[in-house]
Structure 1
Amino acid sequence: ELRTWLDDKLCQQAQSRPISANLERLQCQIQEQEEFQKNLNQHSGSYEMIVAEGESLLLSVQPGEEKTALQSQLVGLKTHWDELSKQVTDRNSRLKDCLQKAQKYQRHMEDLLPWVEDCRAKMSELEVTLDPVQLEAALLRSKAMLSDVEKRRSLLEMLNSAADILIDACQTDEDEVRDEKAGINQKMDAITEELQAKTGCIEEMSQRLKEFQENFKNIEKKLEGAKHQLEIYDALGPQACSNKNLEKLKAQQEVLQALEPQVDYLKNFTQGLVEDAPDGSDCSQLLRQAEDSQQDFKIVKQKVNECCTLMETKLEGIGQFNNHVR
């Protein structure tokens, strides 16, 4: 009866399901194996008693066919029991080893996957804007996120290593782990690529806005110089009419001539910014600054030209008068 039970259990053990890489299925297999082990333990008393009785009989039986048959039965029983025990022990060991590796892989996945989803959500909030303050804040956030992505690379490598070790240890469901591993690697690569692209766009817009402001301030500064010279001209009244003051105005005239291409460049530059601005962006301030700069330039240029022409005419008249006097 015990021999029949052993043969049945050996057959069951041989037909055990392959060790799964899936943690949930693996835990079910471990429960099944624990039940199997429990059943084996329950029969160990019967086995030991039968072996003891058999060995006792061997001592009392005279040599011959009966003793040989009994010895053969006893050896066969021990062999089957030892074989079953070994198979159960080996499977228990492999299941526990695989469980540790599956749990380690799962922990890495649970650490990394929520971060990936959170990062994707935060990344969607990064926007290119024409507001320098908001743009600078977005740039700081995107760079911090890029730095965080690089730090998480080590965790990804640990996950990849844990996945490979688990795949080697298990006997089935490896494709699930491979697919999960490939999926999270693709997500990390996509996040890195998209984040780098967004950071690049934000940096580019930030630089363009800085260039706009620098050009605007440069034009404004040079126009202020011309305006100051005009104020002096107006304040002096008739006394302003001198060769020295004419030279100063002509110098401003040259400055304004050199400035005109910059004013045109600012206009075109602003148009490019507006065209590249995200949908719904408020471009009114940029357009107003560029328009004010252009109008201011035209007014100052016209006034400087008029003052130069007027002073030249007056100085020419004074020269002719002096010639007549002489």
Structure 2
Amino acid sequence: ELRTWLEGKLSQQAQSLPISAKLDQLQSQIHQQEEFQKSLNQHSGAYEMIVGEGESLLLSAQPGEEKTTLQNQLVSLKTHWGELSKQTSERHAVLKDCLQKAQKYQQHVQELLPWVEDCSTQVAELGVSLDPVQLEASLLRAKVMQSDVEKRQSLLEMLNSAADLLIESSQADEDGIREEKAGINHKMDAVTEELQAKTASIEEMSQRLKEFKDSFKNIEKKLEGAQHQLEIYEALGPQACSNKNLEKMRSQQETLHALEPQVGYLKNLIQGLVEDAPVGSDSSQLLHQAENTQQDFVQVKQKVNECCSVLESKLQGISQFHSHVR
């Protein structure tokens, strides 16, 4: 009866399902294996009693066919029991090892996957703007996120390593782990690439706005200098008619002539900024600044040119008068 039970258990053990890579399946398989072990333990008393009785009979049995048969039965029983115990123990050990690896892998997945999905959402919200304050805030967020992504790379490496160990230890459902691992790596790569692209766009827009600001200030400063010289000229009235003032005006004329390409560049720069700005961006202030700067430049340049012409004409007349007097 025990031998029949052992043979049935050996057959059952041989037909056990392959060790799964899925955590829930592993937990179920371990439970089944523990129940199997419990059943084995429950029969250990009967096994030991039968073996004990058999060995006692062998001691008292006379040599012959009956003793040989009994001896063979005992050897077979011990072999089957030992084999079943070994298989049960080994399978349980492998299941426990695989379970630990599956738990480790799932731990990394639970730590990384929600973060990747949340990070992807945050990256999608990043964008360029014509507002320097908003742009600076976006750039700061992007830098913080980049730092976080770099820190998470080590966790991704641990996840990949845990997945490989789990796949190597398991006998079934490995494809699911491979696909999940590949999916997480793809999401991580996509987030990293998109974040890099967004950061580069924000940095570029920030640099272009800074360039606009610097160029605008430079033009305004030189226009103010020319305007100041015009005010001095007007305040002096007839006394402004001198070679010294003419030289000053000519200097402003040269400055404005050199400034003209910068005014044109500023206009093109603003047009580019407006074209590259997100839909719905308020570009009215930039356009207004560009228009005012263009108008101021034209007006100041015209006035300086007129002053130079007037001064040149007056000084030429004075020179001719002095010649006639001489």
Q: How does 1:140-289 map to 2 (within 5 A)?
A: 140-289=140-289
Q: Which residue of 1 aligns with 2:138?
A: 138
Deviates more, 1:277-286 or 1:310-319: 310-319
In structure 1, runs of 5+ residues without a counterpart are none
Runs of 4+ in 1 over 3 A off after TM superposition: none
CA shift digits 1:122-155 (9 cap, x unpaired): 1112111011111111111111211211111111
Q: How far did residue 317 of structure 1 move?
A: 1.9
CA shift digits 1:177-214 (9 cap, x unpaired): 11111111111111111111111100110111111111
Whole-angstrom CA distance in 1 between matches of 2:106 and 2:270: 53
Whole-angstrom CA distance in 2 between matches of 1:166 and 1:160: 10
Q: Which residue of 2 aligns with 1:77?
A: 77
Q: How far did residue 273 of structure 1 move?
A: 1.0
- Secondary structure at the aligned position of 2:129 is classed as coil
Whole-angstrom CA distance in 1 between matches of 2:127 and 2:191: 15
- Secondary structure at the aligned position of 2:281 is classed as coil
Whole-angstrom CA distance in 1 between matches of 2:223 and 2:282: 27
- Secondary structure at the aligned position of 2:178 is classed as helix
Whole-angstrom CA distance in 1 between matches of 2:276 and 2:59: 101
Whole-angstrom CA distance in 1 between matches of 2:84 and 2:291: 92
Q: How far did residue 323 of structure 1 move?
A: 2.3
CA shift digits 1:8-37 (9 cap, x unpaired): 000000000000000000100001111101
Q: Which residue of 2 aligns with 1:120?
A: 120
AA in 2 matched with 1:116: V
- Secondary structure at the aligned position of 1:17 is classed as coil
Whole-angstrom CA distance in 2 between matches of 1:319 and 1:78: 136
- Secondary structure at the aligned position of 2:43 is classed as helix
AA in 2 matched with 1:302: Q
AA in 2 matched with 1:232: I
Q: Which residue of 1 aligns with 2:27?
A: 27
Percent identical across equivalent pairs? 75
CA shift digits 1:46-89 (9 cap, x unpaired): 11111111111112221111111111111111110000000000
Whole-angstrom CA distance in 2 between matches of 1:92 and 1:13: 11
AA in 2 matched with 1:235: A
Q: Number of residues paired by the alignment?
A: 326
Whole-angstrom CA distance in 1 between matches of 2:265 and 2:286: 14
Q: Which residue of 1 aligns with 2:9?
A: 9
Whole-angstrom CA distance in 2 between matches of 1:276 and 1:58: 98
- Secondary structure at the aligned position of 1:140 is classed as helix
